[in-house]
Structure 1
Amino acid sequence: MTKPLISILDDEPEIRTLLSDVLQEAGFDTMSFGRASAFEAALAKRTPDVCLVDLSLPDTDGLTLVHRLALEQGAIVIIISGRAQVQDRVTGLELGADDYISKPFDPAEVVARIRARLRSTRPATRASNTARFKNWTAHFERYMLEDENGDETPFSHAEGEVLRLFLDAPKRLISRAQMQTSLGGAASESFDRAMDVRISRLRTKLREDPKNPQLIKTIYGAGYIFLGDVAWV
């Protein structure tokens, strides 16, 4: 069985060594990079299962890189940063990161967060990664929405987690607490805001009227309901 591959991008050698040692001991394969240019060159050859990305990088803006990773790569993106301000956390999640860990961190927590994310994305009970609903087809293996005319719109890994959650439970109320449990987030203002942003972006990509959405309905004070009929194919 192939070990999950974790890519580590951090300009501090001590952090890279610490994370590599801990993750390899936990049963993962790792690749480490001190600069974004080397990291992105490696991505062209192989997509990792998880990217650990520091925001303070010598050769690029970390938030811009996170946004690009979320849209173009099929990897889980976890920010590990010394920027502990709430706004940095919120911005990172809004741009598509799946999780945010502040420095200094407990290495065991990093391992636990990675395992939780991998569990949440593993298709354990379904052979298909393609779902049809209304006039749409969602291709989760390549993170793409296809309309009835064959036109395609990409979605990020983080947006895909939310969409899959809805498609797995159509016409059932999904509370904030259930979203938190399923997606592995911590209860916080930043998690709630990130969910709002991801759902808003999904509605835009599904060409929903923001004032009267027909697929993803908000039940104020309770959660959300996905109203479409879903067929996994």
Structure 2
Amino acid sequence: MSALVTILDDEPEIRAMLSDALTEAGFRTMAFARAAEFEAALRRTTPDVCLVDLGLPDRDGLSLVHRLALEQGAKIIIISGRAQVQDRVTGLELGADDYIIKPFDPAEVVARIRARLRGPRPSSRGQTARFNGWTAHFDRYALEDSEGQETPFSHAEGEVLRLFLESPRRLITRAHMQESLGGGAGESFDRAMDVRISRLRTKLREDPRNPRLIKTIYGAGYIFLGEVAWD
């Protein structure tokens, strides 16, 4: 069955344009003008990708993105007229997988969706990894510390964390991250990775000036220095 893409945008022209382009590309679609209708539909079905506008009439789009990132397994792509760098950074910090600025070419949206759905290559590892007093539960998107306290992480953050945990003590270049995780290349991808790594460091209670686990190798990439065991 083809992937299901939900479209949440209060502009009927945008909804129609995206629905037509995605249907022609072979996707199934559901379109909504209000967050309340969208959230009601999520209780009955689970989309593969959620396209979310930030300027909604009945809900703050950023808070909705944050909740989706923590509770849904779907990829989240923000489509917004807010072009400021801080808006893009905030959206990515809250768990979005990508950010597309209006006006846009529908073909670009289709390409971004396909890239996100390709995502990381299938893993032969399990759903639980233990490292340096932490346990990562990828089945429920949670980090558990040595005392059993859990901190949720988003699907996008989980992709990056799994990549590190599957390749400990090995240099992971930006090019390798882009190839493994999918998404658009260039400044947008680099900024998204910077945001997700920063948030992972915060959740792992790392000293931002001297992180112990996720080390930046300037001009080359990153190395994860933990000892990892998979269940």
TM-score normalized by structure 1? Answer: 0.88
AA of the residue aligned to 1:154: P
Indicate the residue corresponding to 1:109 in structure 2.
108
Q: 8 Å contact 1:90–1:193 — kept in the other structure?
A: yes
Indicate the residue corresponding to 1:32 in structure 2.
31
Q: 8 Å contact 1:74–1:142 — kept in the other structure?
A: no
Secondary structure of the residue aligned to 2:210 is: coil
Q: 8 Å contact 1:74–1:143 — kept in the other structure?
A: no
Cα distance change, pair 64–120 in 1 and its aligned pair in 2 (3 A): same
Indicate the residue corresponding to 2:139 in structure 1.
141
Indicate the residue corresponding to 2:220 in structure 1.
222
The Cα RMSD (Å) is 2.1
CA distances 1:31-51 after superposition (whole Å, capped 9, x unpaired): 110001111122223332111
Q: How far apart are 1:23 and its partner, in Å?
A: 1.8
Indicate the residue corresponding to 2:130 in structure 1.
132
Q: How does 1:52-201 map to 2 (within 5 A)?
A: 52-121=51-120, 124-126=122-124, 128-183=126-181, 184-188=183-187, 190-201=188-199
Q: 8 Å contact 1:180–1:187 — kept in the other structure?
A: no
How many residue pairs are counted as aligned between the two chains? 230
Identical aligned pairs, as a percentage? 78
Separation in 1 of the partners of 2:109 and 2:138? Answer: 25
Q: Which runs of 5 or more structure 1 residues have no equivalent in the other structure?
A: none
Separation in 1 of the partners of 2:229 and 2:119? Answer: 20
Q: Which runs of 5 or more structure 2 residues have no equivalent in the other structure?
A: none
TM-score normalized by structure 2? Answer: 0.89
Separation in 2 of the partners of 1:83 and 1:163? Answer: 29
AA of the residue aligned to 1:15: I
More deviation, 18-27/111-120: 18-27
Separation in 1 of the partners of 2:9 and 2:229? Answer: 42
Indicate the residue corresponding to 2:42 in structure 1.
43
Segments ≥4 residues shifted beyond 4 Å: none
Separation in 1 of the partners of 2:81 and 2:143? Answer: 35
Separation in 1 of the partners of 2:139 and 2:113? Answer: 20
Q: 8 Å contact 2:89–2:195 — kept in the other structure?
A: no
Q: 8 Å contact 1:66–1:92 — kept in the other structure?
A: yes
Cα distance change, pair 24–231 in 1 and its aligned pair in 2 (3 A): farther
